[in-house]
Amino acid sequence: MKKTNSILCAFVLAGSLFGCSTTQQKTGETDYTQYVNTFIGAADNGHTFPGACRPFGMIQTSPVTGAVGWRYCSEYVYTDSLIWGFTQTHLNGTGCMDLGDILVMPVTGTRARAWDAYRSHFPKDKEAATPGYYTVELADPGVKAELTASPHAALHRYTYHNADSASVLIDLQHGPAWNENQYHSQVQSCETNWEDAQTLTGHVRNSVWVNQDYFFVMKFNRPVIDTLYLPMAETEKGKRIIATFDMKPGEELLMKVAMSTTGVDGAKKNMEAEIADWNFEGVKQAAHNEWNNYLSRIEVTGTDDEKTNFYTSFYHALIQPNQISDVDGWYRNAADSIVKAGNGAFYSTFSLWDTYRAAHPFYTLMVPEKVDGFVNSLVEQAEVQGFLPIWGLWGKENYCMVGNHGVSVVAEAYRKGFRGFDAERAFNAIKKTQTTSHKLKSDWETYMKYGYLPTDLIQTESVSSTLESVYDDYAAADMAKRMGKEEDAAYFAKRADFYKNLFDTKTQFMRPRKADGTWKSPFNPSQVGHSESVGGDYTEGNAWQYTWHVQHDVPGLIGLFGGEQPFLTKLDSLFTLKLETTQADVTGLIGQYAHGNEPSHHITYLYTLAGRPERTQELIREIFNTQYRPEPDGLCGNDDCGQMSAWYMFSAMGFYPVDPVSGNYVFGAPQMPEFVLHLADGKTFTIIAEGLSKEHKYIDSITLNGEPYAKNYISHEDILKGGTLIYKMK
């Protein structure tokens, strides 16, 4: 594979290490975007979207084919036949609803229709997308729609083949919702103002997952000649406007939409800084170049299908966290105050229960220039709301999931040498998070009194909440120790052993336990719990999956089983005992193992840590063959803000961060012949799988820089030094 010479430019984008700001792609460079299929995961339950965005940008402008119910968390299902319009913000691969702001739809013909009568059929062969660009032919109005984006603004181009009453529907009531009632009532207030014949500004406040304020400026390249306001239902407050233009068949209408959390002036600044003119092709090319520069950081050798899976995973991992601060650094914080980000940019969309496992470790390796900004954003939000984000969205907290893995992300960054944040402030946020009880998700007094969360005192998820919190305690202890805080380190290290209090030696499961010390009975280890919506003692899983949730102390877990052999025997049963469940988030099943949900993601690597690496290697191959395909329905579960994708990339390279805070990556087996990682300081780390084939999926031996390598992991530091890792396959 050709070595590119653009790696320095790959690190120069927005807040880069090297201070260069160009996004120009050099002639002759490899176009890695050709291997990205933005439709992967956009069917079944992947919940991805195919539209246009920038790496870590605020805007994700994408088509809407539905908006009500869990199926439409990303507002798009590949097999649908109607497009409702295009919204400007989206969540990638989540299992909950929000964003989907500012629906617009080009329309022709009769203007005064029911609000849902502007939808259009579209031929699937006239729909296409690539990173930073989406296009589709809308059959009913006879319009070709094209979308591209800058970080804070969307740019739409509509070519009207039929100019009969050429108009645009602007729907400010729209937003993905759990049910019809919520869809028609989620907008709390909506203000709009036509500043001139080409410019609409506004402010919308809505509430689905979080209370969201967004401000916008929408500008057209030709004047609006008439407007029609559609009637609103009793519970609706969001305006629906039909804006009409004087156009001839074949003419183009361009529309810019910039957004801000701070005010209309912030949105205007964002638009002026990023899309000052009407150069659609220029914005599209800049988006392409930025994506290609990021993707070029890893050169992969493999089949086209393998490259498609890998680079699409890379793409999905970089959609978020999202920079929600304006171009000048101002943003609306968790207390609804307008403040300036300490390091110039504030990020949100932190699906931390998912992403602490592999996505954030991936950022520390391949996007290190963003890590300090992520940590600073977590700490800034913690100082406002009193604890590190659990699930941060639009600068607010939605309290989704259990544990508080912002602790892990901060501690991991410190462990790996990142120092672009104030460590004292960061640790203070960790300590407060892990010791001060707060709304819904932490009861440290009960946790400390019993050494676990008793099932009869905690309404739901007692086992999962304990085990997830134990990992964060370990992370807190690690950072405290590295900072010389011995008392804090000892305190949190003691709590990191609390997992042992939930292990039932008789059943050999992590089992719900009552306050009096007795085990909950009856007990069915296959029974799946699904957060507060269903109840139970486990989070989107069961005892079979959560028994292995001791990422920081695998030797200690093995000891609870009585040694490696009983540990491995039980682990074998996980992959052979069939699970019967209809829970939407518990998917990608191999026995009781559920690859479609995150608590299972490290489990295959436990074989390596228990002395049977060949079983890890077998299972990784099986997961690659069955759970990832380069098709719209090719993901076995929600992408979950890049976590499913990060698992794929690490595992393809032959290692995985079982314990992210340790800085070690446990060996599995490589799935492609060669990888070249272009690191931040100009060094390269090359990974080669000699003799890899369908039959040769096992590792015979490993060398690092020509020397035999006997450890069952490789450290973050060894990768950053650069060099060559060679797997000899058998």
Rounded to whole angstroms, how far apart are CA atoms 68 and 66?
6
Looking at the structure of the chain, the number of domains it has is: 2
Per-residue pLDDT at 531: 61
Does the residue 678 lie in any domain? no
Per-residue pLDDT at 579: 76
Per-residue pLDDT at 528: 87
**Predicted confidence band at 115 (pLDDT cuts at 50, 70, 90)?**
confident
Count CB-CB contacts under 10 A for residue 315: 27
Secondary structure element (H or E) that encloses residue 383, with its range:
helix 368-385
Mean pLDDT in residue range 267-278: 98
Does the residue 307 lie in any domain? no
Per-residue pLDDT at 533: 60
Burial readout 628-662 (b: 16 or more C-beta within 10 A, e: otherwise): bbbbbbbbbbbbbbbbbbbbbbbbbbbbbbbbbbb
CATH of the domain at 101: 2.70.98.10
Per-residue pLDDT at 11: 33
Percent with pLDDT over 90 in the chain: 90
Q: What residue type is assigned to position 364 of the chain?
A: T
**Predicted confidence band at 590 (pLDDT cuts at 50, 70, 90)?**
very high
Question: Residue 301 pLDDT > 90, yes or no?
Answer: yes
Rounded to whole angstroms, how far apart are CA atoms 501 and 524?
19
Say how many residues make up the chain. 730
Per-residue pLDDT at 6: 32
**Predicted confidence band at 440 (pLDDT cuts at 50, 70, 90)?**
confident
Eight-state DSSP code of residue 224: -
Eight-state DSSP code of residue 541: B
Mean pLDDT in residue range 689-706: 98
Per-residue pLDDT at 16: 34
Helical packing angle, 643-653 and 359-366, nearest 10°: 60
Supply angle C-alpha 191, 193, 198, rounded to 5. 140
Task: Give tens-digit pLDDT for 480-503.
Answer: 999 999 999 999 999 999 999 999
Of residues 19 and 158, which shows the higher confidence score? Answer: 158
Rounded to whole angstroms, how far apart are CA atoms 427 and 214?
32
Q: What residue type is assigned to position 301 of the chain?
A: T
Q: Is the distance from CB of 148 to CB of 280 less than 8 angstroms? A: yes
Does the residue 718 lie in any domain? no
Eight-state DSSP code of residue 453: -
Nearest to 477 by CA among 491, 460, 463, 461: 491
Rounded to whole angstroms, how far apart are CA atoms 159 and 207?
34
Q: Is the distance from CB of 663 to CB of 416 less than 8 angstroms? A: yes
Mean pLDDT in residue range 371-399: 97
Q: Is the distance from CB of 331 to CB of 347 less than 8 angstroms? A: no
Cβ-in-10-Å burial (0-12, 13-18, 19+) of 684 comes to: middle
Per-residue pLDDT at 25: 52
Domain boundary among 599, 624, 652: 599
Instruction: Give whole-number Cα distances, 198 to 145, 218, 257, 319, in Å.
Output: 19, 8, 12, 31
**Predicted confidence band at 719 (pLDDT cuts at 50, 70, 90)?**
very high
Does the residue 458 lie in any domain? yes
Per-residue pLDDT at 8: 30
CATH of the domain at 453: 1.20.1610.10
Per-residue pLDDT at 721: 98
Does the residue 82 lie in any domain? yes
- Residues β-bridged to residue 323: 347
**Predicted confidence band at 14 (pLDDT cuts at 50, 70, 90)?**
very low
Supply angle C-alpha 115, 126, 198, rounded to 5. 50
Eight-state DSSP code of residue 30: -
Does the residue 667 lie in any domain? no
Does the residue 311 lie in any domain? no
> 695: Cβ–Cβ under 8 A, 6 or more apart, which residues?
none
Per-residue pLDDT at 585: 67
Specify the pTM: 0.95
Rounded to whole angstroms, how far apart are CA atoms 54 and 160?
27
Does the residue 194 lie in any domain? yes
Structural domain of 79: 35-294
The verdict on whether omega for the bond into residue 454 sits within 30 degrees of 0, i.e. cis, is no
Rounded to whole angstroms, how far apart are CA atoms 108 and 586?
44
Task: Give tens-digit pLDDT for 548-579.
Answer: 999 999 999 999 999 999 999 999 999 999 87
Mean pLDDT in residue range 411-440: 96
Helix ranges restricted to H, 206-256: none
- 634 Cα distance to chain centroid: 17
Domain boundary among 599, 631, 651: 599
Domain boundary among 564, 599, 634: 599
Instruction: Give whole-number Cα distances, 665 to 659, 711, 715, 723, in Å.
Output: 8, 11, 6, 16
Sign of the alpha-carbon torsion through 170, 172, 175, 177? negative
**Predicted confidence band at 587 (pLDDT cuts at 50, 70, 90)?**
confident
Task: Give tens-digit pLDDT for 158-200.
Answer: 999 988 999 999 999 999 999 999 999 999 999 999 999 999 9
Question: Residue 20 pLDDT > 90, yes or no?
Answer: no
Count CB-CB contacts under 10 A for residue 499: 27
**Predicted confidence band at 29 (pLDDT cuts at 50, 70, 90)?**
confident
Per-residue pLDDT at 299: 98
Q: Is the distance from CB of 638 to CB of 309 less than 8 angstroms? A: no
> 643: Cβ–Cβ under 8 A, 6 or more apart, which residues?
351, 354, 355, 357, 358, 359, 598, 601
Rounded to whole angstroms, how far apart are CA atoms 124 and 632?
13
Rounded to whole angstroms, how far apart are CA atoms 136 and 156?
12
Rounded to whole angstroms, how far apart are CA atoms 256 and 268?
11
> Average pLDDT of the chain?
94
Secondary structure element (H or E) that encloses residue 684, with its range:
strand 684-690
Per-residue pLDDT at 582: 60
**Predicted confidence band at 437 (pLDDT cuts at 50, 70, 90)?**
very high
Task: Give tens-digit pLDDT for 37-62.
Answer: 999 999 978 999 999 999 999 999 99
Secondary structure element (H or E) that encloses residue 425, with its range:
helix 423-435
Instruction: Give whole-number Cα distances, 372 to 409, 533, 603, in Å.
Output: 11, 35, 29
